[in-house]
Amino acid sequence: MPHSASAAGRSAPSPRPARGRREPKRAHPDHEVARGLKGVIATETRLSHVDGERGVLVIGGFPVETLAPHAAFEDVLFLLWHDRVPTADESTHLRRDLAASRAMPDAALPLLRAAAARSLPAMDALRMSAATLSLSDPAPDDPSRSANLARAVRAVATFPTLAAAYARLCEGRAPLTPRGDLGHVANYLYMLSGDTPSPNSTRALETYFNTVVDHGMNASTFTARVIASTRSDLISALVGAVGALKGPLHGGAPGPALDMVFEIRRRAAASGRSLAEEAGAWVRETLTHGDRVMGFGHRVYKVRDPRADVLGEAARDLFVDHRDRALYDDVRAIEGVVVHTLGKLKPGRRLETNVEFYTAMLLHGVGLPTELFTPTFALARAGGWTAHVIEQLDQDQLIRPESRYVGGWDRTWA
């Protein structure tokens, strides 16, 4: 049975009802809406520090530049989970533990097959299959810190197996069994291609994993913490985080940065003009259309994104002996022209090369297809998510903001 609202009770769509209507008093009448929570410090964390004004990123006490290019990802996980560098024994133990935990839950494979049959985004496949980790939890009701650390190990160990299996299923190939003799990052590359990766590729991807493992209170990490703040479980929090990272405003769009490079190369080859000429033309054209040049500028960093340097150097090292060395040289040439042209056309905006640009180079260089860029980001960020969930559960503080009502008042259900 339908009902009709009392016309008299329907206010204009204004946040302030007209005089004479009953307006419930607001709890905080003087408060502004903190749109997007920009500038609101939601929590304390010991995991990472982002200083966008100075271009500084500290991960577990280490400036990203000193940590990312040298550390094994497993040791960075230990650092985040335990707030210190592991001893030799602890490092060996965690590697063994992670390597032994890579098998996907039984329920995951049918979901990945069904997702591949429909060509769903890889992030949806990762989200659905990661959710089934609850089915293989040896102690699903245990809320202790040690049980959550064990869950963190299993989740981080399993994510690459899920992503690689999905990538192969989408290509009509059978998933590969993880190889326990390889490290976390090398095994991911192996599970994708079936080949033992080169030390160069492994180091490049490991540097990428370390660089993006954590980054302050980004939207996916925040999602994981809000979920954990209700005393929910670690897997629920991770599944929420995967869902948030899927969004193009967060997971980023490293694909378009690469597309730009290939498009400029194609145009130069077709026109006979230089890369520099085509790159400059491309930037002017993009800005004329009111579009953003992908791969330059960042919401938080007002100066150069420190991750861009780390990944730029990692990409340089990767391409030293690479079959596609020319691509790297072209990319650096194009980058120079783009930054120069943006500087002229958008003065004062400091549109430096950002992490997406070098991410695209590096991930392409180790052989990943564009569709795997965001899922691969998720495999790395899972280290940060798990550590944040455990930190949030330790803090045990419900995260529950307020909202300002801007709807109608005093409608009557007839």
Taking the complex as a whole, how short is the minimal distance between the CB of residue 150 and a copy of itself, in angstroms?
17
- Catalytic annotation on 356? yes
Give the integer Cα–Cα distance in Å for 220 and 239. Answer: 10
Encoding tokens for residue 57? Answer: 């990123």
Say if residues 45 and 217 touch (Cβ distance below 8 Å).
yes
Nearer to a copy of itself, 95 or 102 (CB): 95
Helix axes 325-345, 275-288, angle to 10 degrees: 50
User: Which one is catalytic: 278, 335, 352, 356?
Assistant: 356
User: From the list 144, 177, 271, 412, which residue makes contact with a copy of itself (rule: CB under 8 A)?
Assistant: 412
Say if residues 145 and 396 touch (Cβ distance below 8 Å).
no
Give the integer Cα–Cα distance in Å for 292 and 288. Answer: 10
- Catalytic annotation on 70? no
Nearer to a copy of itself, 42 or 269 (CB): 42
Site for a copy of itself in 333-372 (CB under 8 A): none
Nearer to a copy of itself, 84 or 349 (CB): 84
Quick note: the x/- pattern for a copy of itself over 80-99, rule CB under 8 A, is: ---xxxxxx-xxx-------
Give the integer Cα–Cα distance in Å for 331 and 277. Answer: 14
Site for a copy of itself in 61-80 (CB under 8 A): 61-63, 66-67, 70-72, 75
Site for a copy of itself in 114-143 (CB under 8 A): 114-115, 118, 120-121, 124, 127-128, 131-132, 134-135, 140-141
Site for a copy of itself in 34-63 (CB under 8 A): 34-54, 56, 58, 60-63
Encoding tokens for residue 239? Answer: 């599944």
Helix axes 73-82, 373-395, angle to 10 degrees: 20
Say if residues 80 and 97 touch (Cβ distance below 8 Å).
no
Taking the complex as a whole, how short is the minimal distance between the CB of residue 157 and a copy of itself, in angstroms?
19
Site for a copy of itself in 173-192 (CB under 8 A): none
Give the integer Cα–Cα distance in Å for 121 and 320. Answer: 33
Taking the complex as a whole, how short is the minimal distance between the CB of residue 326 and a copy of itself, in angstroms?
33
Give the integer Cα–Cα distance in Å for 296 and 338. Answer: 9
**Matching residue, tokens 């190369």:** 265
Taking the complex as a whole, how short is the minimal distance between the CB of residue 206 and a copy of itself, in angstroms?
12
Encoding tokens for residue 33? Answer: 């809406």
Nearer to a copy of itself, 37 or 269 (CB): 37
Site for a copy of itself in 206-265 (CB under 8 A): 216-220, 222-223, 226-233, 235-237, 239-240, 242-251
Site for a copy of itself in 365-404 (CB under 8 A): 397-404
Give the integer Cα–Cα distance in Å for 232 and 230. Answer: 5
List of residues 6+ apart from 281 with CB closer than 8 A: 267
Quick note: the x/- pattern for a copy of itself over 10-39, rule CB under 8 A, is: xx-x-x--------xxxxx--xxxxxxxxx
Encoding tokens for residue 210? Answer: 């370390």
Site for a copy of itself in 277-296 (CB under 8 A): none
Nearer to a copy of itself, 92 or 177 (CB): 92
Please identify every residue annotated as catalytic: 298, 356
